[in-house]
Protein backbone atom coordinates (compact mmCIF):
# COMPACT_ATOMS: atom_id res chain seq x y z
CA UNK A 1 0.00 0.00 0.00
CA UNK A 2 2.89 2.39 0.72
CA UNK A 3 3.67 2.25 -2.98
CA UNK A 4 0.10 2.97 -4.10
CA UNK A 5 0.36 5.72 -6.72
CA UNK A 6 -2.21 7.92 -4.95
CA UNK A 7 -0.32 7.74 -1.64
CA UNK A 8 2.96 8.52 -3.44
CA UNK A 9 1.33 11.47 -5.25
CA UNK A 10 0.08 12.92 -1.96
CA UNK A 11 3.42 12.45 -0.18
CA UNK A 12 5.29 13.93 -3.16
CA UNK A 13 2.93 16.93 -3.14
CA UNK A 14 3.52 17.40 0.60
CA UNK A 15 7.29 17.39 -0.04
CA UNK A 16 6.99 19.83 -2.96
CA UNK A 17 4.86 22.32 -1.04
CA UNK A 18 7.12 22.18 2.01
CA UNK A 19 10.22 22.77 -0.14
CA UNK A 20 8.50 25.54 -2.14
CA UNK A 21 7.38 27.36 0.99
CA UNK A 22 10.48 26.70 3.11
CA UNK A 23 8.21 24.96 5.62
CA UNK A 24 10.66 22.36 6.87
CA UNK A 25 9.82 18.69 7.14
CA UNK A 26 6.43 17.88 5.57
CA UNK A 27 3.71 15.77 7.13
CA UNK A 28 4.00 12.03 6.50
CA UNK A 29 1.15 9.98 5.11
CA UNK A 30 0.27 7.14 7.48
CA UNK A 31 -1.59 3.95 6.74
CA UNK A 32 -4.34 2.76 9.04
CA UNK A 33 -4.97 -0.97 9.52
CA UNK A 34 -8.35 -0.71 7.76
CA UNK A 35 -10.08 1.62 5.33
CA UNK A 36 -12.06 4.45 6.91
CA UNK A 37 -14.90 5.72 4.75
CA UNK A 38 -16.47 8.20 7.18
CA UNK A 39 -15.20 11.01 9.38
CA UNK A 40 -16.40 9.14 12.46
CA UNK A 41 -14.56 5.97 11.45
CA UNK A 42 -11.38 7.98 10.86
CA UNK A 43 -11.74 9.74 14.21
CA UNK A 44 -12.27 6.42 15.99
CA UNK A 45 -9.21 4.88 14.30
CA UNK A 46 -7.04 7.87 15.21
CA UNK A 47 -8.39 8.45 18.70
CA UNK A 48 -9.40 12.06 17.96
CA UNK A 49 -12.69 13.95 17.83
CA UNK A 50 -14.72 13.88 14.62
CA UNK A 51 -14.28 17.65 14.32
CA UNK A 52 -10.53 17.13 13.77
CA UNK A 53 -11.15 15.19 10.57
CA UNK A 54 -10.89 17.33 7.45
CA UNK A 55 -13.42 15.78 5.09
CA UNK A 56 -12.43 16.25 1.46
CA UNK A 57 -15.69 16.75 -0.41
CA UNK A 58 -15.76 17.27 -4.15
CA UNK A 59 -18.71 19.20 -5.51
CA UNK A 60 -19.82 19.88 -9.05
CA UNK A 61 -20.01 23.67 -9.16
CA UNK A 62 -21.72 24.48 -12.45
CA UNK A 63 -19.62 21.77 -14.13
CA UNK A 64 -16.30 22.65 -12.45
CA UNK A 65 -14.82 20.75 -9.51
CA UNK A 66 -14.79 22.42 -6.10
CA UNK A 67 -12.98 20.80 -3.18
CA UNK A 68 -14.41 21.71 0.21
CA UNK A 69 -12.29 20.68 3.18
CA UNK A 70 -14.78 20.66 6.01
CA UNK A 71 -14.75 19.59 9.62
CA UNK A 72 -16.20 16.13 10.10
CA UNK A 73 -18.41 17.63 12.82
CA UNK A 74 -20.85 19.23 10.40
CA UNK A 75 -22.28 19.28 6.89
CA UNK A 76 -21.75 21.77 4.09
CA UNK A 77 -24.62 24.20 3.48
CA UNK A 78 -24.60 23.75 -0.30
CA UNK A 79 -27.27 26.37 -1.04
CA UNK A 80 -25.61 29.01 1.13
CA UNK A 81 -22.15 28.19 -0.15
CA UNK A 82 -23.30 28.28 -3.79
CA UNK A 83 -24.72 31.76 -3.23
CA UNK A 84 -21.52 32.95 -1.52
CA UNK A 85 -19.22 31.72 -4.29
CA UNK A 86 -21.52 32.77 -7.14
CA UNK A 87 -22.52 29.47 -8.73
CA UNK A 88 -26.03 28.51 -9.76
CA UNK A 89 -25.78 24.94 -8.50
CA UNK A 90 -23.48 23.14 -6.09
CA UNK A 91 -24.06 19.38 -6.15
CA UNK A 92 -22.25 16.41 -4.63
CA UNK A 93 -20.12 14.97 -7.40
CA UNK A 94 -20.48 11.48 -8.80
CA UNK A 95 -17.68 8.98 -8.12
CA UNK A 96 -16.65 9.30 -11.77
CA UNK A 97 -16.45 13.12 -11.55
CA UNK A 98 -14.39 12.85 -8.35
CA UNK A 99 -11.92 10.39 -9.86
CA UNK A 100 -11.69 12.39 -13.10
CA UNK A 101 -10.65 15.56 -11.27
CA UNK A 102 -8.64 14.15 -8.35
CA UNK A 103 -7.42 10.75 -9.52
CA UNK A 104 -8.59 9.47 -6.12
CA UNK A 105 -11.61 7.49 -4.91
CA UNK A 106 -14.36 8.86 -2.69
CA UNK A 107 -13.37 8.08 0.88
CA UNK A 108 -9.70 8.70 0.18
CA UNK A 109 -9.66 12.09 -1.56
CA UNK A 110 -6.70 14.05 -0.27
CA UNK A 111 -6.47 17.85 -0.17
CA UNK A 112 -3.61 17.71 -2.70
CA UNK A 113 -1.85 15.34 -5.08
CA UNK A 114 -4.40 15.76 -7.85
CA UNK A 115 -3.51 15.69 -11.57
CA UNK A 116 -4.30 19.42 -11.82
CA UNK A 117 -5.10 22.00 -9.14
CA UNK A 118 -8.70 22.03 -7.90
CA UNK A 119 -10.33 25.17 -6.52
CA UNK A 120 -10.38 24.62 -2.76
CA UNK A 121 -12.24 26.08 0.20
CA UNK A 122 -11.05 25.31 3.74
CA UNK A 123 -13.64 25.31 6.51
CA UNK A 124 -12.77 28.00 9.07
CA UNK A 125 -14.19 25.73 11.79
CA UNK A 126 -11.06 23.56 11.42
CA UNK A 127 -9.00 26.44 12.86
CA UNK A 128 -10.33 25.49 16.34
CA UNK A 129 -8.07 22.43 16.45
CA UNK A 130 -4.31 22.26 17.02
CA UNK A 131 -4.11 19.09 14.93
CA UNK A 132 -6.36 17.94 12.13
CA UNK A 133 -6.25 14.85 9.93
CA UNK A 134 -6.78 14.65 6.18
CA UNK A 135 -7.07 11.76 3.75
CA UNK A 136 -3.97 10.57 1.96
CA UNK A 137 -5.24 9.41 -1.45
CA UNK A 138 -6.84 6.06 -0.53
CA UNK A 139 -9.40 5.20 2.20
CA UNK A 140 -6.82 3.94 4.71
CA UNK A 141 -4.22 6.68 4.26
CA UNK A 142 -4.21 9.85 6.40
CA UNK A 143 -1.82 12.59 7.43
CA UNK A 144 -1.73 15.07 10.30
CA UNK A 145 -1.70 18.78 9.62
CA UNK A 146 -2.79 22.11 11.01
CA UNK A 147 -5.33 24.58 9.72
CA UNK A 148 -2.65 27.04 8.61
CA UNK A 149 -0.72 24.29 6.87
CA UNK A 150 -3.86 22.99 5.15
CA UNK A 151 -4.60 26.45 3.76
CA UNK A 152 -0.96 26.79 2.65
CA UNK A 153 -0.55 23.40 0.97
CA UNK A 154 -3.84 23.64 -0.91
CA UNK A 155 -3.70 27.37 -1.71
CA UNK A 156 -7.28 27.16 -0.44
CA UNK A 157 -9.50 30.01 0.58
CA UNK A 158 -10.73 30.01 4.18
CA UNK A 159 -14.54 29.89 4.21
CA UNK A 160 -17.49 29.30 6.51
CA UNK A 161 -19.11 26.29 4.84
CA UNK A 162 -21.70 25.02 7.33
* pLDDT tens-digit series, residues 30-85: 999 999 989 999 999 999 999 999 999 999 999 999 999 999 998 999 999 999 99
- What band does 1 get if pLDDT is binned at 50, 70 and 90? very low
Q: In whole angstroms, what is the distance from residue 92 CA to residue 149 CA? A: 26
- Reported as a single tens digit per residue, the pLDDT across 103-153 is 999 999 999 999 999 999 999 999 999 999 999 999 999 999 999 999 999
User: Taking the model in full, what pTM does it have?
Assistant: 0.94
In the CATH scheme, what is the homologous superfamily, with its name and number, of domain 5-159?
Answer: YbaK/aminoacyl-tRNA synthetase-associated domain (3.90.960.10)
pLDDT of residue 2: 56
Amino acid sequence: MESHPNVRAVQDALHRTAARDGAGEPSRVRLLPDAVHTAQAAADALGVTVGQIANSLIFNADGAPLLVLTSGAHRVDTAGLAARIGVAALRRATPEFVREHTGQPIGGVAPLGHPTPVRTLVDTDLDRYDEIWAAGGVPRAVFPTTYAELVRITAGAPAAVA
